[in-house]
C-alpha cells in the first residue's frame, strides 16, 4: 500500500476540521499509520467524512476536553500515542495596541497553553516506550514578526521557544521535537482569522482604522492572498518526514518566505530586517 519508511505509528493530530490538519490525517492514514483525528467541535466529529480514520473531540481551550480527547484517542488507536502533530490553532489579527488582554490570552490559550498541556500528557508514555515524535505546526510568523499580527506572532514565537527547550530536555529519551514553519497555505485559516478580527478588534475606533479597512478587503478576497501560497500537502510532506525519518529535523521551513526570512534574519541588522518586513506587508497595511 505505502512507501512507509518506518513502522506504522499511532498518530494524534489536532485541528482536523479543515486545512492542514485534515489533509495530514488523510495522507498519514494513506501511508498506513494509525491516525486519530481530533476536532474541537462535536458537530464536526459527527460529520467527519473519513469513516476509516477515528475522530474524537478535543478543544485545546479546555483542560477537561484535552484529557477526555486524549483518552478517547488512545482507545481509538489501541495504544499510547507515538506521534503527535500539534496543528490546531488560529490567527488573531490586529495591531498590538488594539489587543485586549482577553483577546491575547485567548490566542495564547489555544496556540500555546493547550498545545503544551496536551504534549505534556503524552510525553510520559513516549518516555516509557523510548520513542516519540512531537511535531509542532509553527509558522513563518514564528520566525519573523509582521505588523498587525502581534498576538499570533507572540503565540508562535513562544511555541518555537518552548519547543527548542523541550528538545534539549528530551535529549537521550528517544523523543524528537520538530517545528514545521509554513508560510501562506491554502486552508480555512484566513476565514477564521477574519472572524477573530471582527469579533475581537474594535477597529473602527482604532488609530489604524484605514489600514484595517484595506486588510478586511484583502481577507475577503477569494484565492491566494499572498505570493508563494502553497497547498496543505506541502506542509504534510514535512510532517511525514518528521514522523517517519530516522533523523527528523529540528526545523522544516515550508515556503519561500520562510526560507527567505530565516536567511535574511541571520544576515541583516534588526533595523534592516524591519524594512524588509514592512515592505513584505505593504508598509504594514496588508
Ligand X SMILES: NC(=O)c1ccc[n+]([C@@H]2O[C@H](COP(=O)([O-])OP(=O)(O)OC[C@H]3O[C@@H](n4cnc5c(N)ncnc54)[C@H](OP(=O)(O)O)[C@@H]3O)[C@@H](O)[C@H]2O)c1
Contact track, ligand X, 164-203, x by CB under 6 A? ------------------x-xx-xxx--x-----------
Smallest distance, ligand X to C-beta of residue 89, A: 3
Q: In what order do the strands lie in the sheet with 34-39?
A: 55-57, 34-39, 10-13, 83-86, 132-137, 175-181, 251-253
* Position 281 contacts ligand X (CB under 6 A): no
Judged by beta carbon, residue 87 or residue 200, the one nearer ligand X is: 87
Among residues 29, 37, 60, 116, which is the contact residue for ligand X, using CB under 6 A? 60
Choice from 12, 20, 158, 240 touching ligand X (CB under 6 A): 20
Which of the stretches 59-67, 167-175, 198-206, 245-253 binds ligand X when contact is defined by CB under 6 A? 59-67
Which range, of 15-23, 167-175, 207-215, 262-270, touches ligand X by CB under 6 A? 15-23
CA distance 8 to 35: 9
Element (DSSP H or E) covering residue 237: helix 232-244
Question: Is residue 49 classed exposed, middle or buried when 0-12, 13-18 and 19+ CB atoms within 10 A define those classes?
Answer: exposed
Nine-digit cell at 160? 518555537
Nearer CB in complex with ligand X: 8/188: 188
Written as one string, the DSSP assignment of 136-165 is EE--GGGTS--TTBHHHHHHHHHHHHHHHH
For ligand X, the closer of residues 179 and 201 by Cβ is: 179
115 touching ligand X, by CB under 6 A: no
Provide the minimum distance between the beta carbon of 280 and ligand X in the complex, in angstroms, as a whole number. 14
90, 152, 212, 252: the catalytic one is: 152
Helices (H) and strands (E) in the chain, counts: 11, 7
Map the footprint of ligand X across residues 33-52, applying CB under 6 A: 40-41
**Residue 261 contacts residue 144 (beta carbons within 8 Å):** yes
Q: Does 110 bind ligand X (CB under 6 A)?
A: yes
Residue pair 236/29 in contact by the 8 Å Cβ criterion: no
Cell numbers at residue 132, please?
516519540
Question: 90 an active-site residue?
Answer: no
Residues 197, 189: Cα–Cα separation, whole Å: 12
Per CB under 6 A, the list member of 4, 8, 18, 245 interacting with ligand X is 18
Cβ density class 124-157: b for 16+ within 10 Å, e for less: eebeeeeebbbbbbbbbbbbbbbbbbbbbbbbbb
19 contacts ligand X (rule: CB under 6 A): yes
CB 190 within 8 A of CB 222: no
CB of 65 to ligand X, least distance (A): 8
Q: Is 95 helix (H, G, I), strand (E, B) or coil?
A: coil
Q: Which residue's C-beta sits nearest to ligand X?
A: 19
122-161 residues near ligand X, rule: CB under 6 A: 137, 139
Taking CB under 6 A as the criterion, the residue among 9, 12, 21, 157 binding ligand X is: 21
Catalytic residues: 152
Residue ranges that bind ligand X, judged by CB under 6 A: 14-21, 40-41, 59-61, 87-90, 110, 137, 139, 182, 184-185, 187-189, 192
Amino acid at each position: 500500500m505505502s512507501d512507509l519508511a518506518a513502522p506504522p505509528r499511532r498518530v494524534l493530530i489536532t485541528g482536523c476540521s479543515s486545512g492542514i490538519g485534515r489533509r495530514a490525517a488523510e495522507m498519514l492514514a494513506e501511508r498506513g499509520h494509525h491516525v486519530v483525528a481530533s476536532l474541537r467541535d462535536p458537530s464536526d466529529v459527527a460529520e467527519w467524512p473519513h469513516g476509516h480514520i477515528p475522530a474524537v473531540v478535543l478543544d485545546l481551550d479546555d483542560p477537561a476536553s484535552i484529557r477526555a480527547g486524549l483518552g478517547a484517542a488512545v482507545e481509538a488507536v489501541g495504544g499510547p500515542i507515538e506521534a503527535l502533530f500539534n496543528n490546531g490553532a488560529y490567527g488573531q489579527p490586529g495591531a498590538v495596541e488594539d489587543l485586549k488582554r482577553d483577546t491575547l490570552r485567548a490566542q495564547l490559550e489555544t496556540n500555546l497553553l493547550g498545545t503544551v498541556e496536551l504534549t505534556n500528557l503524552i510525553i510520559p508514555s513516549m518516555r516509557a516506550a523510548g520513542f516519540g515524535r512531537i511535531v509542532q505546526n509553527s509558522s513563518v510568523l514564528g520566525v519573523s514578526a509582521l505588523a498587525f499580527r502581534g498576538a499570533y506572532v507572540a503565540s508562535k514565537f513562544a511555541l518555537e521557544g518552548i519547543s527548542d527547550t523541550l528538545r534539549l530536555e528530551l535529549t537521550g529519551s528517544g523523543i524528537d521535537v520538530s517545528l514545521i514553519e509554513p508560510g501562506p497555505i491554502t486552508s480555512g485559516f484566513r476565514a477564521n482569522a477574519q472572524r477573530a478580527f471582527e469579533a475581537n478588534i474594535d477597529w473602527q475606533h482604532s488609530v489604524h482604522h484605514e489600514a484595517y479597512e484595506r486588510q478586511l478587503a484583502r481577507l475577503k478576497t477569494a484565492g491566494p492572498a499572498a505570493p508563494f501560497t502553497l497547498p496543505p500537502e506541502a506542509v504534510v510532506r514535512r510532517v511525514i518526514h518528521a514522523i517517519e525519518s530516522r533523523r527528523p529535523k529540528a526545523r522544516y521551513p515550508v515556503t519561500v518566505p520562510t526560507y527567505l526570512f530565516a536567511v535574511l534574519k541571520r544576515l541583516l541588522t534588526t533595523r534592516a530586517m524591519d524594512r524588509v518586513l514592512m515592505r513584505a506587508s505593504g508598509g504594514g497595511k496588508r
